[in-house]
């Protein structure tokens, strides 16, 4: 919901950090992989109930996710890099609720399972429309530098990180947070499904 505003507000500091990373000889894809590794480490920490360490890993993963894009735009944007980035993002997003399931199966299993299914809904409607948007040349005005069409909604990347952060800060309330967030995610998925269908149905 507020990803476009957040994207604009962090561009200058990310660009400065991206320039520094490129000078060190790092590539955008290396930062993508490093961020993913940190994200998986965060999931492992959460599964062991080290929630504050998990929160740190989640935040570092998201910084890396913004940084790799900034680096790519300063060097060379590639479809391969965009594909790697989005694929690993969705794996990371699903790993976090799974980690909470492992941390406390008795309390968290149903909520975590629902959230993972929900993320399949948001991912499918996001990626499915991105494929068709590329095919039909549909513009992406809010995110012109993205390697694929970015379809928004009530719950986007920023809202997801807020939810994950709350889960780490208040782990005893994971189930409540997950149920509420899943409901909002389904509103996003259904609105994307409707808007995408309406956008595409009359196109030849």
- Letter string b/e over residues 148-172, b meaning 16 or more CB atoms within 10 A of that residue's CB: bbbbbbebbbbbbbebbbbbbeebe
So where are the chain's domains? 3-200
d(CA 169, CA 109): 19
Q: Is the pLDDT of residue 9 over 80?
A: no
Q: How far is CA 192 from CA 89, 119, 130, 143, 154, in A?
A: 19, 13, 11, 17, 10
Give pLDDT tens digits for 116-170.
999 998 888 888 887 777 776 666 545 444 444 445 567 787 889 999 999 999 9
For range 27-41, the mean pLDDT: 95
- 3-state DSSP helix/strand/coil % of the chain, to nearest 5: 80, 0, 20
Query: For the chain, what is the mean pLDDT?
Result: 85
Domain 3-200 bears CATH identifier 1.20.120.1760: yes
Give pLDDT tens digits for 63-85.
999 898 888 888 877 788 888 99
How crowded is residue 203: how many other Cβ atoms within 10 Å of its Cβ?
10
Q: Is the pLDDT of residue 17 over 80?
A: yes
DSSP 96: H
Residue for token pair 């990180």: 161
Give pLDDT tens digits for 166-195.
999 999 999 999 999 999 999 988 888 888
Instruction: Tell me what pLDDT residue 44 has.
Output: 98
Q: Is the pLDDT of residue 99 over 70?
A: yes
């Amino acid at each position: 919901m507020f990803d476009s505003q957040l994207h604009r507000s962090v561009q200058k500091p990310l660009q400065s950090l991206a320039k520094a990373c490129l000078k060190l000889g790092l590539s955008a894809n290396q930062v993508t992989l490093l961020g993913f590794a940190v994200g998986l480490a965060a999931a492992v920490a959460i599964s062991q109930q080290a929630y504050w360490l998990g929160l740190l890993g989640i935040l570092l993963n998201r910084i890396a996710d913004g940084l790799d894009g900034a680096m790519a735009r300063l060097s060379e944007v590639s479809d391969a890099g965009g594909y790697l980035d989005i694929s690993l993002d969705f794996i990371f997003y699903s790993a976090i609720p799974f980690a909470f399931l492992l941390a406390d199966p008795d309390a968290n299993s149903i909520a975590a399972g629902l959230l993972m299914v929900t993320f399949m809904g948001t991912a499918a409607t996001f990626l499915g429309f991105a494929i068709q948007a590329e095919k039909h040349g549909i513009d992406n005005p809010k995110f012109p530098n993205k390697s694929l069409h970015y379809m928004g909604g009530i719950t986007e990347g920023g809202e997801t990180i807020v939810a994950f952060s709350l889960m780490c800060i208040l782990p005893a309330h994971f189930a409540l947070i997950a149920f509420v967030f899943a409901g909002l995610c389904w509103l996003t998925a259904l609105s994307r499904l409707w808007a995408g269908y309406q956008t595409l149905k009359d196109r030849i």
